[in-house]
Chains A and B, each alone.
Chain A
């Protein structure tokens, strides 16, 4: 196997634990007696290997007519960087606003006041925050912060109105915010909390294009790219939360 560019250091614990060979075919599910399509065709154990081998044979057979292919060079001459002279911060703000998401720009002197205005506008006070968020300016802005864990597990009356997170980076051309669970972001779950999401984007986190973003991101982290207004899940689901508001606080 090749992992050029992104070495993996995750231990291989789950693989053996969940391999199909270890699955008890007769249980333990409640519906094991159901006949018909649920049953695989009669084949000996070790089926997955068989299926893989059979598929590989078919693929190799199908490709046999061509001879070994030359490795191809991809012409990456499409634009990878954004043109010189573009104001990426302005472009990002404009394109996020296209989604009817409110973007407020602030600096070190105005961020407390701006944040307070955003929270007032959204009508929220209690915010869940990732564990290592720098909190002082938020409390100064009037937010009451609750720990991420509290938000996810506590009784409803203890729950927050929404969440505050940072981001991994933002893409100007597409108006995209990328969360990857890194510092100041917490788990992906946090950005799914009902109600309100205040996302803090620092100006130096804004890149021009998708290729620039892909080059900077770490494939091993779980990522969420958000471009647009948060949507609620299908309204038919009883327990699904309602729609949320996304506000972007652009710093610098």
Chain B
């Protein structure tokens, strides 16, 4: 087996604390981030609150269970998907890494003598750097399918193993055009994006639009199963991309990151992301999910990684807001803690950078009283999360807690604080105004309180 190319998404990115430091100094960036994340947070809350009580929580749990089944039996689901796609007239390709996926697209383009392709921006094609690869191969890339366009390359959101159906959720009509107009349609899909059954769509078409943009349904949802006579492309290629996902799968604790449906809800609630923005993470995707996914995709526990990658698990306050927002209940704080332990254990924790991270966090936290409050609550909750996971606490994490002063018991829970101050973005309020009884709300950790309860 040939070696797998493993490079950080953005070469030469400084480790997170340094990048974050620059981002923090950018006042305009901070203001923009504050506004957009505040808007998306309230839109999302409206879309979720509109559902009858408990429906959202039940959907989240169903989503998590379905995805866990996908993860636990991934080879079977992929075999089934391949069979269904082929039966429906499509072709399935497998790509071990980004280069292989790009080479497949280039070959298909050449087979169809396409000097130009329509490339609809997608998470997977950004991940593989497809546009650059096509340019290197002398193939022009256009962003919009305006007429019968020859060949289109795009991503998708789900593929159904049972039926071979591919589902894409798009914000504008360009997505619909891209699956309808071309002669040949190439879809690049991450291995984990498979869903077992047709009816599972009912869960994810509920969860994704509401968690992603706060809409009841995304403006355009396209579903296509292989090729259809006289309607749409005559050729359909599905490229299944590994590119490190099998490494994510190898970590029992961390593999829940493969549930992610890229809704970006965790970004907008993250006190770190909403201040430093996406660039500082140097990963696709950024934010809390990027902080746990990127190190795993680059194989932190199986390969040597650079300082930037190793700094990502420290790009968090462990406050738990991302877990509450996540429509598939990925316990991001728990995975972060697990990864910090792993890095320390493997001797890969970039001690120098960790120190720096701690220092800049302290500087930032002490700058204004409310921030200190945030840090205290976060620390309290973080300890709590860890205390509930004895298997993680063993060994290295003992050191993690030993090395830190135990913060004073918080005067109010993080949840209360977060609600009251709009995630710390309404910076005016003093945290002493609403001294809540902490025990009730934090006693179960972030996972146990359904959002419908007061």
Contact = CB atoms under 8 A, between A and B. Distances in A.
Contacts, number: 293
Interface stretch (A134-142, A156-164, A229-237): A229-237
A222 B168 CA distance: 12
A12 interface: yes
Contact of A78 (B58, B87, B235): B58
Contacts of A225: 217, 220-223
Nearest to B71: A63
Majority secondary structure, A binding face: loop
A237 B146 CA distance: 7
Interface in A4-58: 4-6, 8, 10-15, 18-20, 23-25, 27-32, 34, 36-41, 43, 48, 51-52, 54-56, 58
B399 interface: no
A98 B196 CA distance: 34
Nearest to A228: B219
B103 A37 contact: yes
Nearest to B220: A226
Q: Most chain-B Cβ atoms within 10 A of its Cβ — which of A189, A219, A226?
A: A219
Contact of B114 (A29, A79, A83): A29
Contacts of B205: 210, 214
Interface in B186-238: 191, 197-203, 205-206, 215-228, 230-232, 234-237
A14 B90 contact: yes
Contact of B86 (A15, A31, A236, A238): A15
A210 B107 CA distance: 39
Interface string B239-251: 0101000110110
Contacts of B418: none
B198 A5 contact: yes
A226 B215 CA distance: 13
Contact of B191 (A55, A61, A78): A55
A241 B232 CA distance: 19
B216 A51 contact: no
Interface of A: 1-6, 8, 10-15, 18-20, 23-25, 27-32, 34, 36-41, 43, 48, 51-52, 54-56, 58-63, 65-66, 69, 71-72, 74-80, 83, 95, 171, 173-176, 181, 187-189, 192, 210-211, 213-215, 219-234, 236-241
